[in-house]
């Protein structure tokens, strides 16, 4: 059998202080492989085994890299400060082709400056999971308080102070909608603002290189992929590598279905293949 190339389309269904998120490096996996952090957070990779591994972001010039692969246990940390926002794919440079891959998603940051008796900008719009940072220089007696309901319910920087401060609030689920805030002392003089929190956009599909195929026999193939979400995955195939339609459209055959119960590497074995096939693995993006 002539073994054709493969395409993968994997879609997701879908505080205040900097935190450290730990990823364990062992075997041929990063656990958890896919993490989401806020601006300013640290990801710590803890290598615990004796295999040759490293951690490298996949750009031509890596955003982060732990060094050359080595067999010693080690801890590698990287702080995701400005302007690092978005999704960063990474892998082990030795075992990436075997599915040793992961992602770091960095949520955004909006900065509001306290200037005189105003917030600048006073009104900001963010996505759920993003952080707003209020930055006050020394001088002036100010604070930041959400004033849409019970005091301090959503966010509150503390009592008004003339000292400089930086106050961060990460707007995680279930926070959505518009939140009004003010300086307790100068709100009546117009020192007010709003934070509008939008629902997060649908996450992007993953890169085609995240699918690995191993032919166990001429009529048998095993597929491996990194499942970013638990749920049901459908596997479609076609003998036509030039097919213009996308699955499950005309020309595609539903070959198998897999229920994935944990995030990370998933696999399935397909038997009885009788022709050249192009494979596509799909998870419905509908929440």
> What is the spatial distance between Cα 39 and Cα 81, in angstroms, rounded to a whole number?
6
Residue 208 scores a pLDDT above 50 = no
**Residue 84 — left, alpha, or beta (φ > 0 → left; ψ -120 to 50 → alpha)?**
beta
What integer pLDDT is reported at residue 275 of this predicted model?
A: 66
The alpha carbons of the chain give a radius of gyration, in whole angstroms, of 24
Any idea where the domains of the chain sit in the sequence? Answer: 109-198
pLDDT higher than threshold 60 for residue 17: no
Least-confidence region, from 129-138, 183-192, 199-208: 199-208
pLDDT per residue over 235-284, tens digit each? 888 878 777 677 777 888 888 888 877 777 788 888 877 665 666 766 65
Least confident of 33-42, 119-128, 167-176, 248-257: 248-257
Condensed to tens digits (0 to 9), the pLDDT of residues 39-92 reads: 888 999 999 999 999 999 999 899 999 999 999 999 999 999 877 888 899 999
**Edge-to-edge strand ranges of the sheet holding 118-120:** 118-120, 109-115, 131-136, 165-170
How much of the chain, in percent, has pLDDT values that exceed 70?
82
Is the pLDDT at 150 greater than 80, yes or no? no
Q: What local confidence, expressed as pLDDT, does residue 16 receive?
A: 41
CB contact set of 267 (below 8 Å; sequence gap of 6+): 222, 223, 224, 225
Query: What single DSSP character describes residue 129?
Result: T
DSSP run (H or E) holding 133:
strand 131-136
Residue 206 phi, psi dihedral angles, 5° rounding: -85, 165
Nearest to 129 by CA among 87, 173, 166, 88: 173
Region of 47 on the Ramachandran plot (φ > 0 left; ψ -120 to 50 alpha; else beta) = beta
**Rounded to whole angstroms, how far apart are CA atoms 285 and 11?**
5
91 secondary structure, DSSP code: E
Residue 11 has a pLDDT of 36
Hey, which residues does 221 pair with through a beta bridge?
A: 215, 270
Helix (H), strand (E) at residue 103: strand 101-106
Out of 112-121, 167-176, 183-192, which region has the weakest mean confidence (pLDDT)? 167-176
pLDDT at 9 over 60: no
Write phi, then psi, for 114 (nearest 5 degrees). Answer: -90, 110
**pLDDT (mean) for 172-178:** 89
Question: Contact, 183 vs 157, CB < 8 A?
Answer: no
Could you please state the CATH topology (level 3) that the domain comprising 109-198 is classified under. Immunoglobulin-like (2.60.40)
* Of 99, 98, 136, 95, the residue nearest 116 (C-alpha): 136
212 preceded by a cis bond (ω within 30 of 0) = no
CA distance 150 to 27: 50
């Amino acid at each position: 059998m002539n073994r054709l190339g493969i395409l993968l389309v994997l879609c997701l269904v879908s505080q205040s202080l900097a935190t450290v998120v730990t990823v364990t490096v062992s075997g041929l996996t990063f656990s958890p492989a896919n993490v989401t952090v806020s601006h300013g957070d640290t990801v710590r990779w803890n290598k615990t085994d004796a295999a040759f591994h490293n951690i490298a972001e996949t750009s031509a010039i890596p955003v982060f890299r732990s060094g050359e692969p080595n067999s010693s246990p080690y801890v590698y940390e990287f702080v995701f400060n400005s302007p690092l926002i978005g999704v960063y794919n990474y892998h082990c440079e030795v075992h990436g082709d075997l599915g040793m891959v992961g992602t770091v998603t960095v949520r955004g940051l909006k900065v509001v400056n306290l200037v005189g008796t105003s917030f600048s900008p006073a009104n900001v719009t963010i996505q759920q999971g993003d952080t707003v940072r209020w930055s006050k220089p020394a001088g002036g007696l100010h604070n930041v308080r959400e004033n849409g309901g019970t005091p301090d319910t959503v966010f509150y920087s503390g009592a008004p102070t003339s000292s400089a401060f930086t106050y961060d609030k990460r707007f995680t689920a279930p926070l959505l909608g518009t939140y009004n805030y003010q300086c307790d002392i100068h709100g009546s003089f117009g020192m007010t603002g709003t934070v509008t929190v939008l629902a997060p956009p649908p996450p992007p599909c993953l890169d085609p290189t995240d699918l690995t195929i191993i032919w166990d026999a001429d009529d048998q193939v095993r597929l491996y992929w990194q499942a970013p979400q638990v749920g049901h995955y459908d596997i479609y195939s076609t003998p036509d590598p030039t097919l213009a339609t996308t699955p499950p459209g005309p020309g595609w055959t539903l070959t198998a279905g897999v229920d994935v119960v944990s995030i990370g590497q998933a696999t399935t074995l397909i038997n009885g293949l009788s022709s050249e096939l192009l494979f596509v693995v799909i998870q419905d993006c509908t929440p």
